[in-house]
Structure formats: C-alpha cells, structure tokens
Structure 1
C-alpha cells in the first residue's frame, strides 16, 4: 500500500534541513501545470477557490462543500503529492469543524489550516480583520484534533492566527503555543511584518514547524524560499502564484481580442490537453481494448 499524502508531508517536515514549498493552485488546470513543472507539494488557496468557483471576493462566502469539492479534485490528480488546503474557520462550531476535518481526510488532503477569524472572515492580507476570543479559537483546534483521532486516516493540522495586527505579537504567539499544546502540528502566524518577527516566532515555537504565507503586495515582505528558510520557516506557500498569472494573462488576452479582433495562437489544443493527461487517457483506453483513439487524436 502506498504511503498517504499526510504521511509524506510529515516525513518531509521531520527533516529540519528542508523546507516544504507549496505551489498555489486553484483548479484542475493550474494544479496540472504545477505538477508538470515538478512541484512536490501543492497549496489550494481559499481566495482562489472562492474567486474561481463563485466569482466573488474572499469574504467568507465559500462553503465547506465549495472548498472540499475543489480540494478533493486537486488532491486526486496525483495522490502521491501532498496538498495543503485552506479550511478557513472550519465553517461553524465544533460539529462543523469535525465534519470539515473528516471530509478533508476522506478527500485525500494532506494538511489543512484553521484560523481565528469569525465565520464572516476575510482574506488574511486585507485590513481590519476581526478575531474571535481565544477560547473559541482553541475550541476549533480541539475539535479538529478530536475529529482526526475519531476517523480512519490522517491529516496535518495547521493552526493559523490572524491576531498579529490587532492583538500584537505576544498574544498571537500565545494563541499558537496553546494550539500546539492541544495537538496542532504546524503553526501559521499570518501577516508577519519583519525578519525579526519571523525569526522570533520560529525560535519561540521550535521544534514545531512554522509556515510562511508569501503574498506579494500583502502584509508580509516578499521573501524567497531561500530567505524564508534562512529565517527558520519550514513551510512556505505561494497562494497567489497561479491566480496572479491567470489574472494577468487572461486580462492581456481579452484586451488584445477586444482591440485587434485576434487572439494569441501560441498554445495549441494538443499542448493544453497533454498537460491534463491526454496521452495517459488514450493509453488507458487502448490497454482496456478500446478503439476510440486507434487513428489518433
């Protein structure tokens, strides 16, 4: 039996000399491209999921079903590659957190993160975020840990706090320490603002791995993978990687079509379909005795 994605991620996190890099994707095409380019960990962005599936901003409007279905599809493309997925606030009280963790495990997700904003949350790199009382937040973490223990399977639990901007560094790190004491595997201090803060949180929470959220133009410096590792982070995610590229590329293509009546023909259908498994699909059909593709495609 092959090793689970969660076990693979845990194995990588056990090596303090390595850093896990999560390429930010939000749908099947962007995930396939990242896999083709050789990334060995993917990150499903909640903002990207909300934008791509609903056409709405990341303001707490995506439901568990929206997020789980997208995560299940991405995780299933290559189950050997760990997927870290946003789980927002857990989508409700303790019973909803239990359902969220259970559904993510069944979907094959390797890790999820839970935050301490209210259910009507917003993207972590927007301003004026609200924060729930610490006991409510820790109740979510406790429910997640208990849910994981109750279901067959495993998932890496990442405790995220957005309290840095409103409550300050000490209060935010205290929340993470308490979440770790309850059984969280990784800490995520959203909106780290300086190298000094970064080094401090990584040292304070050691040996627990700490995650860095790389969002250019957001609340944190735009550190590279090497810089994040030097500061002590063990995971770095790039949630806007595909989202920003798609926004720029599609906007440019639409502008060209609108202004010139032509489109860029640099990508042909075969190239696109091969990225998402055309050759493998044809080979599978032929091995099963099918004749649909005997003359090629």
Structure 2
C-alpha cells in the first residue's frame, strides 16, 4: 500500500474515508462532483485539481487495465487492486468504486464489500443487470428479477455488518430498469433497495429534469446520485443546479479517459508523422511530471529518515 500522505499536519484528526464521504453527501443543497479516475495519474491530477471525491469507473478501469470494452470482463481483483492504489494516494479524498453486479452470489457480494473496505474504498455501487452486464448507456441491457435484486442489496448490508470494527462504507444501489422496464419500475427498484438497507440511489441513464426532481422526492430520505456521461443518455446539468434539485452526488466517469484518448491519438499521430514528441512544447520536464506524482513527499521521507539519496536533488533537473 502506498504511503504518500506524509505531509499531513500532526494534529489533523483522522476521519475514515467512508465517514468523510457520508459527511460530504449530507450537505444541504450541495451536489458533490466526483471525476472519473482509472489510474494513478488521473487520481493525482484530480487531487491536485481540488476535487473532494473521486470515482473509479468500471468501464474505464476495464479499458485501462484490460484494454476491453465494458462487458463484464473485469474481476473483483481488477477493481479492488486498482481501487486500493487510488484510494491510498490520499485517504482524505474518498473513492467511490463501481462493483458491477457484485461478482457472484450473495456470499460473493458480501465478500466484495469486505474486500473493498479493506482496500480503503469509501463507497461502491452495485447494479441490477444480469451477470453478463454492459455499460448503462448501451442498448440491450437485461435485468435480474426483483427478489435477486433485493438479495444483492441485503448481501451488501450483511457484508458490511460482518466487518470487524465496523464500517461506514456507502452502499449505492444502481438500477438500469429505466431503459428496460420504464421510469416507474426503476423507482420501485430503488425504493426496494432503500428498504433493504442501501444508502444512496443511482438511476442510470436518467433522462429529464422532471425525472431527477421526482426521484429525489420519491427516494427521500435516501439521496440520489446522477451519472454525467458525456454524449450519453443523461442531459448535462451543472452541479449547482443538481444540488438545488436535491441531488447529492454527480459522477463523471469519462471526464479524463475520453480526453486522454484524444490527446494520445494526436500525440502518436504527430510522432508517427514527424518523429517528434509534441509533449516537449508543453513544457513539463521529467522532474515536473514526477512532482505531480508526489516526488517531493518521497524526498521528505528520505530526509526525515536521515537518508542522503536526494541530498542534491533540489539543485538538479
């Protein structure tokens, strides 16, 4: 596990990531933004940018780790290992992670909750698609029956209760029923999840302002999360507007990954055509890049321990 938060003030009170997440999403009239992160670089830049919560997208984790589309290729280990790395870069920034359909039967789901907790993940969402699931903004989704859905949420609660010492990990119930059974059926599934112990609702691919406002009302006191997918099925609403409607959390799974894809395409095209690295023109030397990755913190550890490996480091490039 990475030890990177060495510059924390000695008198700063520790707050568990899940507890911090609960505090953030309990703010009146505030919709917290959680950018999609899928690797250490994304996470470092999200933290540098000042975001208070991060979101590990299942689709983007699958793409980054496996080079595959979001069609249930990634395993619990893929998600948890990636989440552990990201969550522990700075535990003050809670990480919400996708949990797909829970990776199996109720005992597997309960284990997933415990593995996520042990990894430092603050919250997760679990969905009601069949095991062979797909991205929520693709056509052709299939759902499990209502009792299987309830069993998944109950298994999450059981898994959380079984964690030694207790856990505040946030259980987010995601339904994809809007595209399959309609809006009212989707709300029924989220209400059922609330009754089984879920902490937050997530109505995937929600389509209108009216649907969002009504969902907030119907699900209360359970808060609502909205998924902001660029060029997806949900319209783009500013976070301050979502907050005024009562939405507590907005995730942006593709905010970095799609931009990175375009940037890499451009850079590789330039390299192929000219033999040059266009990053040179952007002015970030190796030391500058590694500084974003926490280089100064590692130097501080060496100096505090009496090491001399970086004695002349600040005078070099």
* TM band (smaller chain): over 0.9
Q: Which residue of 2 aligns with 1:270?
A: 287
Q: Deviations over 1:171-192 (max 9, x none)?
A: 1100100100111000000010
Work out whether 1:140 is the aligned partner of 2:157: no
2:136 to 113, 124, 131: 124
CA displacement at 1:14 relative to structure 2: 2.1
CA–CA distance in 2 between the matches of 1:147 and 1:239?
26
1:282 is the counterpart of 2:303? no
Say if 2:220 is the partner of 1:224: no
- Establish whether residue 169 from structure 1 lines up as the match of residue 183 from structure 2: yes
Q: Does 1:50 align with 2:62?
A: yes
How many Å separate the matches in 2 of 1:178 and 1:121?
21
Deviant stretches of 4+, over 4 Å: none
The alpha-carbon deviation at position 116 of structure 1 amounts to 0.4
Trace 1:57-96 onto structure 2 (pairs within 5 A). 57-96=69-108
What's the CA shift for 1:79? 0.7
Structure 2, unpaired ranges of 5+: 1-12
Aligned partners of 2:202 and 2:39: how far apart in 1?
24
1:200-251 CA distance string (max 9 Å, x none)? 1111112211000000111111222123223331100000011112111111
Deviation at 1:134, TM superposition (A): 1.1
Measured against aligned partners, the alpha-carbon deviations of 1:24-60 in whole angstroms (never above 9, x if no partner) come to 1100011001101111110011111000000010100
Q: What is the TM-score of this pair, normalised by structure 1?
A: 0.98
Aligned residue for 1:109, secondary structure, equals coil
Give the TM-score normalised by the residue count of structure 2: 0.92
Indicate the residue corresponding to 1:294 in structure 2. Answer: 311
**1:232 match: secondary structure:** coil
Gaps of 5+ in 1: none
Q: Distance in 2 between matches of 1:227 and 1:162?
A: 24
Other-structure match for 2:259: 245
Distance 1:73 1:45 in 2: 14
| Residues in 2 aligned to 1:111 and 1:45: alpha-carbon distance in whole angstroms | 12
CA shift at 1:13, angstroms? 2.0
Calculate the aligned-residue CA RMSD, in Å. 1.1
Deviation of the 1:17 alpha carbon: 2.2
For 1:232 and 1:2, the matched residues in 2 are separated by 29
Q: Distance in 2 between matches of 1:130 and 1:186?
A: 22
| Segment drifting more, 29-38 vs 226-235 | 226-235
| Counterparts of 2:27 and 2:241, CA distance in 1 | 18
Look up the match of 2:197: 183
